[in-house]
Amino acid sequence: MAGSKKNDGDDGHKSIPTSRAGRFARVARMAGGVAGGMLAEGTRQLRAGKRPSARDMLMTPANARRVADQLATMRGAAMKVGQILSMDTGEFLPRELADILARLRSDAKYMPPQQLHKTMSDAYGEDWEQLFYGFDNRPLAAASIGQVHKTVSPDGREIVLKVQYPGVATSIDSDVDNIATLLRMSGLLPSELDIKPLLDDAKLQLKDEADYHKEAEFLQAFADLLREDERFLVPEVLPELTRPTVLAMTYVSGKPIETIVEQPQAERDRVMTALVDLMFMELFELRMVQTDPNFANYQYRQSSGEIVLLDFGATRRFKAGFVNNYRKLTAAAMAGDHDKLIAAAERIGYAMGDANSEYRDLVLELFLLALEPLCEDTEYDFAHSDMAARMSQLAERVTDYRDFWQAPPTDAVYFHRKLGGMFMLATRLRARVNVHQLIQRWL
């Protein structure tokens, strides 16, 4: 029997608008609040004797909260659009907006019990509570597409149920279009930047993420790949309890991956080396990459040293052409062959600018910096690297070349999201990894 734990008074949950009209109303309310905030800030600056710019009026802390709070409440595609735009286009977006969007990775609210129970009834029938013992209304985790609840299966195993938010799957197209329109009209996105290809691909990716039977297939594929690999542990999918809106899997305990920062240097290095190695296996062997860099997707079991892999909803299949060209790009970077690197980048779909132009030199410098950990056959010390600061400085210079701006190729966006996430985790864990050696066998 499901538990009757109540969370009605907890600020952590909030009803999700499920109708198209209700979700559009959220966007309209957000737009109105931002406009009102701009007017108030402009008035304040005028009274202070300043001539306010549109950017100054727009990028106030109050407006940042308005945008992030509304997107977090809507969840689903609205929240994902923010995450996608923040993951690889930072050189094109105002830093303030990138910071707003980055908040969405951890700001999701969870469903109130009444809405949760309706979702479970739709999935399993009115007597769903008879199926599970000790179902906890409060989730272990809440994200953009769904939330995870711990319970006990009919055969007595500890399991988790990933329950999809109502209305998410049917609102993907309209959510993406509405949020993109808001960002464009508000001036938050540069008018020169064409993000339509990125958003069209985001719709397809989000529809895959909302298909829990497809995620179950990805989960099974990774379990099969890593079955004999003692470094990793993957939950077991439970097909008999999985529904289109509820993914059932065994519960695997572990601590947040960040806790290994307290472990000796050698253990931090071992864990991070395993994760980077897995990333290259995903790209070059499977051509199937779990692209969500959220640290919560990884846990650590101190007793065994195993790394627990969670959440395969953002898994993406990559075309052979992209993988082969990325292999050539990395090999060229490691060999210091700039001409071959540029040729490979253009085949992937990057706009590299004219030959011998300052813009091409700048983009080339960005590539070489992003791939810096791969280029030397030595342990790269992420804790003492200033790569992120140097990337930020280079990104500022890109703003002088607006005529060349275009959204990056979508496959590259998703892989760089993963690559950047791994390097950020390595920095957080103060790890040292010989990335050069790890990628050598794939080149």
pLDDT digits (tens, 9 = 90+) for 150-181: 999 999 999 999 999 888 888 788 777 777 77
pLDDT band, residue 11 (cuts 50/70/90): low
Q: What is the SS3 assignment for 354?
A: coil
pTM above 0.95, yes or no: no
Which of the residues are catalytic? 292
- The token pair at 417 is 């999201």
Q: What is the SS3 assignment for 4?
A: coil
Which tens digits make up the pLDDT trace of 106-151? 455 678 889 999 999 999 999 999 999 999 888 988 777 888 999 9
In the chain, % of residues over pLDDT 90: 37
Span 257-273, mean pLDDT?
Answer: 94
Residue with tokens 């601590």: 255
Q: Which residue, 249, 252, 6, 3, is CA-closest to 134?
A: 3
Which tens digits make up the pLDDT trace of 72-109? 555 555 556 655 555 443 444 455 555 555 555 545 56
Average the pLDDT over each of 40-44, 115-119, 227-231 and give the range with the smallest value: 40-44
Q: Are strands 306-309 and 232-233 parallel, antiparallel or unpaired?
A: parallel
Between 220 and 175, where is the model more confident?
220
Which tens digits make up the pLDDT trace of 140-150? 887 778 889 99
Kindly report the CA angle at 246 between 281 and 11, in degrees rounded to 5? 100
Please give the pLDDT value at position 412: 85
Contact 312, 290 (CB under 8 A): yes
pLDDT band, residue 7 (cuts 50/70/90): very low
Span 298-317, mean pLDDT?
Answer: 92
- 195 vs 435: CA distance, rounded Å: 32
In the chain, what are the domain boundaries?
A: 20-107+172-189, 254-443
Please give the pLDDT value at position 168: 80
- 40 vs 170: CA distance, rounded Å: 36
Q: Does pLDDT of 49 surpass 80? A: no
Kindly report the CA angle at 372 between 421 and 272, in degrees rounded to 5? 45
Q: Does pLDDT of 23 surpass 50? A: yes
Please give the pLDDT value at position 187: 59
Span 411-431, mean pLDDT?
Answer: 88
- 345 vs 132: CA distance, rounded Å: 51
pLDDT band, residue 3 (cuts 50/70/90): very low
Q: What is the SS3 assignment for 110?
A: strand
CA 306 from centroid of its chain's CA atoms: 23
Integer-rounded Cα radius of gyration of the chain:
23
Between 186 and 342, where is the model more confident?
342
How far is the CA of 198 from the CAs of 164, 365, 413, 436, in angstroms?
24, 24, 9, 30
Span 204-229, mean pLDDT?
Answer: 90
Span 33-58, mean pLDDT?
Answer: 53
Q: Does pLDDT of 202 surpass 80? A: no
